[in-house]
Structure 1
Amino acid sequence: MPIVTSADGTRIGYETHGSGPLVICVAGATQYRAVDQDTPRLANLLADRFTVLIYDRRGRGESGNTEPYAPMREIEDIEALIDAQGGTAMLYGMSSGAVLALEAAAALPQKVARVICYEPPINGAQSRDEAFAELAEMEGFKSRGDGAGAMEAFMRSVGASDDDVAGFKASPAWAGFAAVGTTIAHDYRVMAEATKGDMKTRWRGIAQPVLVVNGDKSFAFMEAGADAAAAALPNATRKTLQGQGHDPPPRSSRRCWPSSSPSDRSSVMERIYTGSCHCGSIHFTAPIDLSEGIRKCNCTYCFKTGYRKAFAYGDSVAVTQGEEHIGHYAAELSSWPAGHIDHMFCTSCGTQLFSRGYLEFAPFNGWFHAVNVSTLDAAPEELDAAPIVYEDGLHDRQDQAPALVGYL
């Protein structure tokens, strides 16, 4: 595996996926390559447009752990990774790694081009004294070399029950996490120093664009924490991923990423498309990522109408003109949680616009709109470049292609 040497001589292990502008994934507490399966999967999803770098934070996996620890040492690690690849990087920080990524953006304004923060765990209900008391406890575990004790205390701090702890300790995964338990003190140090003071003053120099994201099914304080981070930053955008918790699956995480390069000002991979019916009575907007594909389905509705669709997740389609001209056709679907899907069309010209449905599995995880791509104001070249995805909607297997696709 590749190695870089940080400013204090610490060796940092990493790997890269794909080619394109550099993105560095900054992990949260206890995460490193030997136990993390999701980040490489996310990297592979994005490998066609980015060089995605995944590394072991110091003290974990293949990286060293020169003492004494300080958050600035981890910023120097990130700088060494950027320098090894050349140029600048976007940082994608997860949980406490999101706060470390912001600290790096403040310290390295010429090398960090933008930041995506997924659920910085900023707990506004926790006082500064409480945060530093918890840090002292974790540093005590570290000084004793008690990674297992640190891991157990960390689990209990986020609400794990006795049964949860016992079950995890009995699992094969426990040893890998306990091995890096002492580094939880590093994350507590980052969080206490960065967020238990005036964050707005601390981060006022972060001019780079920052996207702060939370999942609406996560811990209760995460939404407020994301709001607090965004409010403290001079150039922040907020996004909530519908149906996602603190560890979203890779296909959901990728919806946070920009469509081209780290300097792109667009906040997500999704582009906001405008669309309209044939007669112009109805206009709408919809956030869609065409790289996910234009879908052709064999269900009776899509087949009989020639419907080609792309997905907009959540209740994110907005009608900007002519809502009074929208007609509804509710098709009964007893196997779906909502019992039906609502197909919407223009009552003047008959153009099929979009359908609203509810599915509980990824990538839908709740409400979604299937938008008729023929109604989008997109260049033919853009539509032509989108991959075609076939789905077996006739048998409610949206994640599979039907046996026959040529007739679609």
Structure 2
Amino acid sequence: MQTVTSADGTSIAFERHGEGPPLILLHGGSAPQYWKPVIPRFADDYTVIIPHRRGVGESGDSEEYSIDRGVEDICAIIDAVDGTPVLFGHSFGGLLAIETARTASVEKLIAYEPAVLVGEYRQQADLASQMQARIDNGDRRQAMKFYIREVMHGGEIDDLDGWLEDWPPWPDIVALTENIARINRAIEQYRLPDSIDIDVPTLLLTGTEGPPHLRDGIRAVDEALPDSTFVEFDGVGHGGPTEAPDRVTSEVRGFIERGKAFASTGSD
């Protein structure tokens, strides 16, 4: 484990696996262990960097949090690694990757269903406050279940408890409840600009079974970017990188190595 010091003095930890050009994987609301199935698929050819998001894993924390803070944390890691990295973010990590690429020097940008809210959904979004109400009532587990139902399943699933029994992060992810509530506050405050000033090739990934509000968000991101490739995985949900790691990493490898994603549905 290595650490860097972010702009506000907070210690940010990151893992390093393999050797080669740097590939930074940014986790979303889950823990850094989210990327465990993905690391072996890249570590033979890339230096895979796994940051621990502020307040998660081995990283330090601060009382105040914002997307800008998250970007500062990633920039500190970029400055500490050799070479210009590829950024690959999932969910909230995808949003951080996009915002980081607006100012930092990166080779390419990849985001799987970045946590971008648009339209009527954004105007009515209150996931953070509903999570906080459950936390204040002493029921962190119900707060996390509410979050998972909304973000992983678009608010609709017949047997959430049965699904959770087979979901590896459960119930350990309950320990991150307060952290996840605060990143949702940041997500709800974020407003996607009409045009995103990123001048590197970008790969945007989604699954047909992903939550509708995030599928709407990624299409809006695609429209706002000057140079993006849009890929949709049939039958895959929000957990795509670990739900279908072979399919997703194959697409990502093709994009990194040839600058153009493999054939996909809905490419720009």
TM-score of Structure 1 vs Structure 2, range by shorter chain: 0.7 to 0.9
Answer with 1 or 2: which has the greater Rg.
Answer: 1
The 3 A distance-change label for structure 1 pair 90 and 139 is: farther
The 3 A distance-change label for structure 1 pair 18 and 183 is: same
Quote the Cα distance in structure 2 between the aligned partners of 1:102 and 1:144: 35
1:6 aligns to 2:6 (yes or no):
yes
- 2:76 alignment counterpart: 80
The 3 A distance-change label for structure 1 pair 23 and 140 is: farther
Cα deviations across residues 181-228 of structure 1 (Å, max 9, x unaligned)? 11112432342233xx35224x2x212221111122333444433221
1:199 aligns to 2:193 (yes or no):
yes
Q: 1:178 aligns with which of 174, 194, 206?
A: 174
* Residue ranges of structure 2 left out of the alignment (5+ in a row): none
Larger RCO, structure (CA 8 Å, separation 6 or more): 2
Size of the aligned set, in residue pairs, is: 260
Q: Is the strand fraction higher in 1 or 2? A: 1
- 2:252 alignment counterpart: 257
Quote the Cα distance in structure 1 between the aligned partners of 2:161 and 2:198: 39
Q: Residue 203 of structure 2 contacts residue 255 of structure 2 at CA under 8 Å; is this kept in 1?
A: no
Q: Residue 100 of structure 1 contacts residue 190 of structure 1 at CA under 8 Å; is this kept in 2?
A: no
* Residue ranges of structure 1 left out of the alignment (5+ in a row): 271-286, 288-312, 317-408
Q: SS at the partner of 2:124?
A: helix
Quote the Cα distance in structure 2 between the aligned partners of 1:156 and 1:122: 17
Cα deviations across residues 372-401 of structure 1 (Å, max 9, x unaligned)? xxxxxxxxxxxxxxxxxxxxxxxxxxxxxx
The 3 A distance-change label for structure 1 pair 182 and 253 is: same
After TM superposition, the structure 1 stretch with the greater mean CA deviation from structure 2, 39-48 or 136-145, is 136-145
Deviation at 1:180, TM superposition (A): 0.6
Deviation at 1:147, TM superposition (A): 4.2
The 3 A distance-change label for structure 1 pair 238 and 74 is: same
Deviation at 1:94, TM superposition (A): 0.8
**One-letter amino acid matched to 2:174:** A
1:244 aligns to 2:236 (yes or no):
yes
TM-score (norm 1): 0.56
**One-letter amino acid matched to 1:98:** G
- 2:25 alignment counterpart: 25
Quote the Cα distance in structure 2 between the aligned partners of 1:260 and 1:122: 22
Deviation at 1:165, TM superposition (A): 4.0
Q: Residue 92 of structure 1 contacts residue 117 of structure 1 at CA under 8 Å; is this kept in 2?
A: yes
Q: Is the helix fraction higher in 1 or 2? A: 2
Q: SS at the partner of 1:174?
A: coil
Quote the Cα distance in structure 2 between the aligned partners of 1:81 and 1:146: 35
For the aligned residue pairs, the C-alpha RMSD in angstroms reads 3.1
Q: Residue 117 of structure 2 contacts residue 188 of structure 2 at CA under 8 Å; is this kept in 1?
A: no
Quote the Cα distance in structure 1 between the aligned partners of 2:253 and 2:221: 20
- 2:15 alignment counterpart: 15
